[in-house]
Each structure stands twice: as C-alpha cells, then as structure tokens.
Amino acid sequence: MLSRRRLLLGLLGMGLSRAQGLRAEEVVGGLEVPWALAFLPDGGFLVSERPGRIRLVRGGRASLYAELSVYARGESGLLGIALHPRFPQEPYLYAYRTVEEGGLRNQVVRLRHQGERGVLDRVILDGIPARAHGLHSGGRIAFGPDGMLYVTTGEVYERELAQDLASLGGKILRITPEGAPAPGNPFLGRSGARPEIYSYGHRNPQGLAWHPETGELFSSEHGPSGEQGFGHDEVNLILPGGNYGWPRVVGRGNDPRYQDPLYLWPQGFPPGNLAFWRGALYVAGLRGEALLRLVLEGGKGHWRVVRVETALSGYGRLREVQLGPDGALWVTTSNRDGRGRVRPNDDKVLRLR
C-alpha cells in the first residue's frame, strides 16, 4: 500500500499538472542519475548518466551509446552534453566530465557520432578545477544562438576562485566548437585573465537558457546551504563581463560592482536546468522537488519576475528541463543521486504536454 505521504505527493503532483495544463508522460526509466539531454534529428535522444554512460533512447528503449572514464564522486562525474549546432553535418557531441588521470580536474570533451555509438574524439578544454569531495563542479554546457559553446563551472568550495580571473572555476565560459576562446569575449587580451571567461563571481551555476526573442542568456545557480547563510539560490540574467558577486555578496547586495539576481529564493530552492517555454521560464528543482514556472514582464535588460507557480511536483528531485524539438517540455528526475528518495523505475525522463 502506498504510504500516506507518497499518496499525498502523487495527488498533489496530479493536481498541479492539471492546473497548468500539463500531463507528464514517462518516456524511459531505470536510469542512473541522468544529467542532461541532447535531441537527435531522427527523433531519438541522448541522455548522460553521472557514472559515465551516455544512453541512446529510441522508442522508449535505452541502449549504450558511449561510456567515458570519469571520477564520479559527490556532484562530479559525467554531467552536461550538447550536440554541435550544425549536427549531423558536424557529427560531434560535447560532454563535460570530471577525470583524475594526470590530476583531478573537469574538462570538456568531444565525441564523434557514429550512428548507434559515440567515440571519444578529443579534449577541447582542460584544467577546470575539481576537488576530491566532488562538490560544486558546475557542468552545464549548451550552444548559444551565436554558435559558441557556453560552459558553467563551480568554485569547488574554494570561494575566492569565483573572483579570480586567472582561474576557470566559478565562471561561465564561452568557447568555439574547437575549444578556443570565443571572439568578442570580455577578457580577451587582458593580462592575467583567462580569455575563455564570459562572466564570473558564480558559486555553482547549473543551468543555461536563452530568451527566444531577445537572445539574452539566463542561468540558474546554487546559493550557500550551511556554508555562509542559507539558501539564496538564484536565477541570473548573464551579461558579458558581469561579476555576480560570490563570495562578496550572498543574494542581493545592491552594490553597483556586482550583478544582482533576477530572482532569488532566500529559503532555498537548489535549481537544476532552466528553459523557456510558452512565454515563461521553467526552473527544475532538486531539493525543492518541483518544476516552477516564472512569469516575466519587461523587456531586454529590464526583466522582472511577476509570478511564480508550481507547474509539476510529485516526481521527486528534478534536474534537467529542456524544450524538445517536438515543442514539448522534457524533464529528468534525479532521485538516485544519493540525496533523494528512490521511486519505482527511477530515474526517469518525462515529457510534459
């Protein structure tokens, strides 16, 4: 018999889904800490699993696409994936992983797509900080409208790395598909600064999404829990060269030297990825165990959040949220990451209609 708590959670999730006009359909289950999705033009998709596997899913069946050597501890391992924007003409899949051979670090690698399999091609960016505890590795990667690859990195609990322009930790990076610093980056040519840096002062950014009309970049970020203060998870509008304050500022500092968050959860809502869909910004919640809908008003450079609604709950921890090529919203659960309560057939990929 279902426990009272599980029954209430299930009913709550069903009710909230109806309220938002959403219906969750399980596409595939039995995954192990799925982290990111990449949609193939033939209707299938790829999903990364933190222990080092990439699965190819077609018709609800998952097969092994690639297995990479990773250091899977804490929040580290195999994290974000993204297809080349000119795929399949450029047959490459990019992945963010933690490795320990030759020294513990995070890196971005490129795989060559070979139909049913992906084969490691080369490392395109190396030397992103990592630590043995495996925490605060960042890990989201995505190609922007400009064709450049954006990479989120954490400060691995060395807080001052976020303000250090000589370090790749605690940043959002912007590189070419070949791994070079992207043209127009704000710190190109600046002595002592890494030219890959696009923005800095980040603690542990987890998501990337571009506004479908203005092309502006938004990011989700974890605030401190038991480290300095509590909660203060954020959604930020990312400006090139912007300093987002960590560790100088927790939450809103109202200091012109730093960019204040667009939206803030003072009590905590550690987010996963975020995505624009049907005119709103959707944010996946890990400890919050819900998908939130943020309604924005304003315009380019002057957005504000005017309403926050729960769009989906009852599935536990949610990490990935992404707009699929079918126009539906896709979500992954993260209940097998050591911090959640495992439900039957976890972890799952859900399609929201």
At residue 11, does pLDDT exceed 90?
A: no
Reported as a single tens digit per residue, the pLDDT across 24-58 is 999 999 999 999 999 999 999 999 999 999 999 99
Closest CA to 320 of 330, 310, 312: 330
User: Do residues 181 and 189 touch, judged by C-beta distance below 8 A?
Assistant: no
Instruction: Please say whether the beta carbons of 112 and 119 come within 8 A.
Output: yes
Name the band, by pLDDT with cuts 50, 70 and 90, for residue 5. very low
User: Which residue carries 């090529």 as its tokens?
Assistant: 325
- Name the β-bridge partners of 297: 304
Hey, is 199 helix, strand or coil? strand
Distance CA 352, CA 23 (A): 5
pLDDT at 229: 61
In this prediction the pTM is 0.93
Q: What is the pLDDT of residues 106-145, one digit of tens each?
A: 999 999 999 999 999 999 999 999 999 999 999 999 999 9
In the chain, the amino acid numbered 320 is: E
**Which residues are CB-contacts of 220 (< 8 A; sequence separation ≥ 6)?**
205, 206, 207, 233, 234, 235, 236, 271, 272, 273, 274, 283
Q: Which long-range contacts (CB under 8 A, 24 or more apart) does 293-300 make?
A: 293/20, 294/235, 294/263, 299/214, 300/214, 300/216
pLDDT tens digit sequence for 306-316: 999 999 999 99
pLDDT, one tens digit per residue, over 252-266 is 999 999 999 999 999
Q: Which two tokens stand for residue 180?
A: 């070079």
CB of 236 closer than 8 Å to CB of 218: yes
What is the pLDDT, as a whole number, of residue 20? 56
- The CA-based diameter of the chain, rounded to the nearest angstrom, is 65
User: Taking all residues of the chain, what is their mean pLDDT, rounded to a whole number?
Assistant: 93
Predicted local confidence at residue 7, as pLDDT: 30
